[in-house]
Amino acid sequence: MTLQPENWQETKKILVVLAHPDDPEFFCGATLARWARAGHQITYALLTCGDKGFNPATSPGMTPEKLCAIRRVEQNNAARVIGARAVHFLDREDGYVVADLNLRRDLVRVIRRETPDILVTCDPQNLFAMYGINHPDHRACGQATLDAVFPAANNVAYFPELLAEGFQPHMPKEVWCSLTNQPNVTIDVTEFWEIKMKAILEHKTQVQDVEKLIERMKSRRTEDSTDEAPRFEEKFRVVRYG
Ligand SMILES: [Zn+2]
């Protein structure tokens, strides 16, 4: 038996907390597809519905309200392709996410409600992503999520009002940060790359040129790839608790 990088013996409950529709698929969609097909239970919690993800100059008539409704549908379709079971939205405004105490409380509530074994988010320290400046929502989401995990989620002294709502302390066993420049776990996701691409293409409002996107994503193959045998990886900074 080959040792899998996750080393999970039983079925895991996995909660993915990211900022926008399409973040789960772009950041770690192939890994999520791999986990779903291994029988793990995946739920998304997205902070925004990506309502500013359009260019008013080239999309006359589009409004944040209209786009929000469309992107919720797109995200549900993409999640279905990946194999995720549910998508929740926290209804923050796109582009204005701040890692404040209100967001931290909301995320502690989500963690205590969903009681995940594994929590997936993104690395808040990634200021310069591969395409330029990392979106501030990504950084704020990663920061607020890590702050919610530790020390708040598992400590009754934090946000006692959540206890009154019936949410007991809970600690995920592992936190997986995608979109990181300091990875300590690499997953070979070659087998699941096609599913990732199919899910990404469900975000139709975000894909202007399908061919160009497919080419761009192909260029992410590993250096030891050949045209006959391309290989793809997704990398994470993983923190394990006990
Ligand atoms: Zn994003």
Q: pLDDT digit string (tens) for 22-35? A: 999 999 999 999 99
Among the listed residues 49, 1, 2, 8, the one whose alpha carbon sits nearest the alpha carbon of residue 31: 8
Q: One-letter amino acid identity for 239?
A: V
Determine the distance separating the centroid of ligand 1 and the alpha carbon of 139, expressed in angstroms: 10
Distance of CA 23 to the CA centre of its chain: 5
Determine the distance separating the centroid of ligand 1 and the alpha carbon of 48, expressed in angstroms: 9
DSSP class of residue 239? E
Q: pLDDT digit string (tens) for 153-208? A: 999 999 999 999 999 999 999 999 999 999 999 999 999 999 999 999 999 999 98
Q: Kindly state whether residue 3 falls inside one of the protein's structural domains.
A: no
- CATH number of the domain where residue 185 is located: 3.40.50.10320
3-state secondary structure of 124: coil
What is the DSSP code string of 11-33? --EEEEEESSTTHHHHHHHHHHH
Q: Kindly state whether residue 228 falls inside one of the protein's structural domains.
A: yes
Residue 41 phi, psi (nearest 5): -100, 115
Determine the distance separating the centroid of ligand 1 and the alpha carbon of 21, expressed in angstroms: 7
Determine the distance separating the centroid of ligand 1 and the alpha carbon of 204, expressed in angstroms: 15
Q: Kindly state whether residue 101 falls inside one of the protein's structural domains.
A: yes
pLDDT over threshold 70, residue 2: no
Is-cis flag, bond preceding 136, omega within 30? no
Determine the distance separating the centroid of ligand 1 and the alpha carbon of 138, expressed in angstroms: 6
pLDDT in the model for residue 1: 44
Q: Kindly state whether residue 7 falls inside one of the protein's structural domains.
A: no
Q: pLDDT digit string (tens) for 88-143? A: 999 999 999 999 999 999 999 999 999 999 999 999 999 997 779 999 999 999 99
pLDDT band with cut points at 50, 70 and 90 for residue 4: confident
Contact 5/187 with Cβ under 8 angstroms?
yes
Q: One-letter amino acid identity for 208?
A: Q
Determine the distance separating the centroid of ligand 1 and the alpha carbon of 137, expressed in angstroms: 7
**Which residues on neighbouring strands pair with residue 13, listed in sequence order?**
41
pLDDT in the model for residue 3: 59
Q: Kindly state whether residue 143 falls inside one of the protein's structural domains.
A: yes
Determine the distance separating the centroid of ligand 1 and the alpha carbon of 157, expressed in angstroms: 32
Number of folded domains that form the chain: 1
Q: Kindly state whether residue 1 falls inside one of the protein's structural domains.
A: no
List residues, by chain if needed, whose CB lies under 5 Å from ion ligand 1.
Answer: 20, 23
Domain that holds residue 206: 13-240
